[in-house]
């Protein structure tokens, strides 16, 4: 009782003092740590006498499995305000950016009866869900080939009692011309090529049960028949670093899983993906987002619908650039690609406001604008960046640069690549947001989120850059280069002056009180 009174009066006078002091106000944040983060490990070792051996290795299957189990326990606390039923995968709604598998966002899916598990990459830039199956040329499932502890699988149709082949006359079969003259009409062949050079998958279409659960405290099991590709032959990136265990297409075509779930009445025709700064994420089918999210309409081409949006303006630091273009929102692309003249306008303004020395051209680095990091990381100042979408919605870019090391030098690069024909907003620009792909209303929604249960405060015009949170160099083919863990300050015109001593001691008091509580 006495302690409760103490804390009540302390916080009363503390926040009263804050309101008086607001002329030199400072921003307070409480860091969130997942259960296996280094601060939590140190705390557990000191208080509970755990050792490093008691924690699963970061990146291991057990590591992600235990985090997914934790998600299921707290699944009732949803990110959305909507009352519509949401579905996610039976192993949880978490996704993870995995370093050893191309730095794409992956999640675990269970397919067939009994369920066979696959670690699939999530891709809004394509439509087909496929897994390696009856392989004649597939990626190795030897986990050592990817420096990974993940258990990779190959789908076996004979092991699933609910497997069905898609026949040539099935509505999902679009390769009727390939069936003509075929020895077998009871199978529908497919072949999909991707933007990445010489990357493709081919095989036959099948149906089987995809195991899902409702995103509420009950976690009701939902088994839905979906069409997927039995990927017999893979090529290009699918044979080494990208999606070796399958790809989960999330596009607008009728064959995608979101289309099937909506058409069969399981969920509203919408889904969301969240991209956290720490590499974790979320995916939720049926999620239409929040009432206070920003939105912009899709530019839908009926012959080949994609998540294409319109950007009307670019802002770099204090410079506003009138540059209108359309772009694909693609979670399966690590970086952002712009065509000219938009690429040149953006990069020239970025370069003009960057004070560090430009790094000499390096053919191994695909980024054109790279700079030598100052020995004192806090003196390297990065211009802030944002997009204005059609409808006037602002889209702040939290991770515009990537930090790499080359020849024992530390450099940072604007992670935007010149494109010959297609504008793509890649995963690096989506970091820090929950992105809603509302296919019913044909709008893209976004709201700042850390992908846990707490919405962050409204974005300011600039923020400190955390190199750990940008997509690493290997995703763009920077083999032999390495990320460095250093912080760079990000600045823009008109930044505020904060009383650092006041903020420091206030944070110290908050930390002390939280420990007591």
The answer to whether residues 115 and 484 touch, using CB atoms and an 8 Å cutoff, is no
Rounded CA-CA distance 395/81 in Å is 21
Which residue has 């079969």 as its token pair? 173
The answer to whether residues 26 and 508 touch, using CB atoms and an 8 Å cutoff, is no
3-state secondary structure of 11: helix
The answer to whether residues 13 and 491 touch, using CB atoms and an 8 Å cutoff, is no
Give Cβ neighbours of residue 497 (< 8 Å, ≥ 6 apart): 24
The answer to whether residues 367 and 415 touch, using CB atoms and an 8 Å cutoff, is yes
Active-site residue 123, yes or no?
yes
Return phi, psi of residue 145, to 5°.
-65, -20
Structure tokens, 296: 């912009």
The answer to whether residues 186 and 207 touch, using CB atoms and an 8 Å cutoff, is no
Structure tokens, 17: 């003092």
Which residue has 């509420």 as its token pair? 216
Is it true that the peptide bond before 114 is cis, omega within 30 degrees of 0?
yes
Rounded CA-CA distance 453/77 in Å is 7
Rounded CA-CA distance 387/390 in Å is 10
Bridge partner list, 417: 337
Burial of 113 (0-12, 13-18, 19+ CB in 10 A): middle
Rounded CA-CA distance 369/355 in Å is 13
Active-site residue 91, yes or no?
no
Catalytic member of 91, 127, 330, 438: 330
The residue among 494, 435, 475, 503 whose CA lies nearest residue 298 is 435
Catalytic member of 91, 123, 269, 438: 123
**Count of positions (residues) in the chain:** 517
**Could you tell me the CA-to-CA distances from 325 to 163, 182, 377 in Å, in that order?**
44, 44, 34
Q: How many CB atoms lie within 10 A of CB 485?
A: 8
Return phi, psi of residue 272, to 5°.
-130, 150
Rounded CA-CA distance 502/21 in Å is 10
Active site residues: 123, 330
């Amino acid at each position: 009782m006495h302690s409760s009174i103490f804390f009540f009066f302390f916080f009363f006078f503390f926040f009263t003092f804050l309101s008086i002091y607001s002329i030199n106000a400072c921003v307070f944040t409480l860091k969130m740590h997942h259960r296996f983060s280094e601060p939590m490990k140190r705390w557990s070792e000191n208080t509970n006498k755990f050792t490093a051996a008691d924690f699963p290795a970061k990146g291991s299957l057990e590591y992600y499995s235990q985090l997914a189990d934790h998600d299921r326990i707290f699944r009732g606390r949803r990110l959305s305000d909507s009352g519509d039923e949401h579905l996610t995968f039976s192993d949880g709604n978490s996704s993870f950016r995995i370093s050893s598998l191309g730095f794409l966002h992956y999640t675990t899916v269970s397919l067939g009866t009994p369920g066979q598990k696959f670690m699939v990459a999530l891709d809004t830039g394509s439509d087909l869900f496929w897994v390696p199956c009856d392989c004649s040329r597939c990626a190795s499932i030897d986990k050592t080939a990817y420096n990974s502890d993940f258990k990779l699988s190959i789908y076996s149709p004979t092991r699933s009692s609910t497997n069905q082949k898609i026949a040539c006359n099935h509505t999902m079969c679009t390769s009727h011309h390939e069936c003509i003259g075929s020895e077998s009409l009871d199978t529908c062949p497919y072949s999909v090529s991707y933007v990445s050079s010489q990357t493709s998958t081919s095989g036959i279409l099948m149906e089987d049960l995809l195991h899902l659960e409702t995103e509420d405290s009950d976690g009701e099991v939902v088994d839905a028949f979906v069409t997927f590709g039995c990927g017999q032959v893979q090529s290009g990136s699918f044979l080494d670093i990208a999606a070796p265990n399958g790809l989960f297409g999330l596009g607008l075509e009728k064959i995608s899983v979101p289309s099937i779930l909506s058409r069969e009445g399981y969920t509203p025709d919408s889904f969301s993906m969240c991209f956290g700064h720490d590499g974790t994420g979320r995916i939720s089918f049926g999620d239409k987002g929040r009432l206070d999210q920003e939105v912009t309409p899709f530019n839908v081409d009926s012959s080949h619908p994609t998540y294409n949006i319109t950007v009307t303006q670019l802002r770099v630091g204090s410079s506003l650039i009138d540059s209108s273009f359309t772009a694909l929102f693609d979670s399966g692309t690590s970086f952002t690609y712009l065509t000219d003249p938009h690429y040149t306008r953006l990069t020239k303004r970025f370069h003009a406001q960057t004070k560090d020395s430009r790094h000499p051209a390096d053919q191994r680095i695909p980024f054109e604008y790279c700079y030598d990091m100052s020995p004192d990381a806090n003196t390297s100042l990065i211009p802030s960046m944002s997009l204005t979408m059609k409808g006037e919605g602002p889209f702040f870019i939290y991770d515009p640069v990537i930090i790499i090391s080359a020849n024992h030098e530390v450099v940072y690069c604007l992670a935007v690549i010149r494109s010959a024909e297609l504008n793509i907003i890649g995963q690096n620009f989506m970091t820090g947001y929950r992105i809603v792909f509302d296919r019913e209303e044909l709008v893209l929604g976004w709201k700042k989120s850390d992908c846990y249960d707490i919405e962050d405060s409204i974005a300011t015009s600039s923020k400190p850059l955390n190199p750990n949170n940008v997509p690493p160099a290997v995703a763009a083919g920077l083999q032999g280069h390495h990320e460095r863990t250093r912080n760079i300050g990000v600045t823009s015109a008109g930044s505020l002056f904060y009383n650092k001593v006041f903020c420091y001691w206030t944070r110290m008091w908050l930390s002390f009180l939280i420990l007591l509580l």
